[in-house]
Chains A and B, each alone.
Chain A
Amino acid sequence: MAEHKVDLELDCRGMSCPLPVLKTKKAMDGLSSGQVLKLIATDPGSVNDMNAWTRRTGNPLLGSDKPPGEFVFYIQKK
């Protein structure tokens, strides 16, 4: 997966729905336009949830990674 410049890392390992979404929203609110959040989650539901959340809110999902047992997302603040 391509490397992304990361401005903030958010660890949501071990958290279930909807906490990764709620914490992502909160973290993104603290970023300025163009900055990138790296989200690390273990909830398999987060794959579809983060796709939906980024589509709905218009914050581009730059890419994702799938290390064993984890789901990593790079989300840019619109």
Chain B
Amino acid sequence: MESDNRKKMALIASKGSLDWAYPPYILASTAAAMDMEVWMFFTFYGLTLLLKDLKAKVSPLGNPAMPMKMPFGPKAFQNISWPIPNLVMAGVPGFETVATSLMKQTFKNKGVATIETLRSACLDSGVKLIGCQMTMDVFGFEKEQFVEGTEIGGAAMFLEFASGADIQLFI
């Protein structure tokens, strides 16, 4: 398996919210575009980023530094960072759905790829996606729920590759 001289990147994706879905998929797709061999290991909440039907959302609650901005209207209006009390974030039903659609709209306006696009780029360029068997058992996920091409493994499988990788990241 170690037949080529490509640089290698080993990456653990441990979070499953929309904001945290970006760093692993951006870095993995870009590393592959830079001719690196890339393994992504999805564990705990990161497993949800493997689901065929991605439902990643973002929660402003618990992200105190997250700017709350509007993706429409005049520029001065868009630049306002809205102060939302925790009570509202935690107590208003549907708040996360609204925040998620605002973030998705902002990304779209700024020409940022969707997670689905980045994931497809990873799969097309030979990035290896590995689901953690233990957390699959814990959270009740089946391999069939994950995108085509997903492999299943454990800590030893990741560590063997990571021990020979040039870049190792935990996200």
Contacts of A66 in B (CB 8 A): none
Task: Give chain A nearest CB distance to B35 CB in angstroms.
Answer: 6
**Residues of A within 8 Å of B, CB-based: how many?**
15
Q: Kindly supply a per-residue 1/0 record for chain A positions 6-27, scoring 1 wherever the CB is within 8 Å of any chain B CB and 0 otherwise.
A: 0000000011111101101100
How far apart are the CA atoms of A28 and B149 in the complex, in Å?
Answer: 25
Give how many A-B residue pairs fall within 8 Å (CB-CB): 37
How far apart are the CA atoms of A56 and B118 in the complex, in Å?
Answer: 21
Asked if residues A25 and B33 are in contact (CB atoms below 8 Å), the reply is: yes
Contact of B65 with A by CB under 8 A: no
Contact of B155 with A by CB under 8 A: no
How far apart are the CA atoms of A57 and B112 in the complex, in Å?
Answer: 24
Contact of B111 with A by CB under 8 A: yes
Asked if residues B111 and A22 are in contact (CB atoms below 8 Å), the reply is: no
Asked if residues A57 and B34 are in contact (CB atoms below 8 Å), the reply is: yes
Asked if residues B34 and A19 are in contact (CB atoms below 8 Å), the reply is: no
Contacts of A43 in B (CB 8 A): 111
- The residue in chain B whose Cβ has the minimal distance to the Cβ of A13 is B111
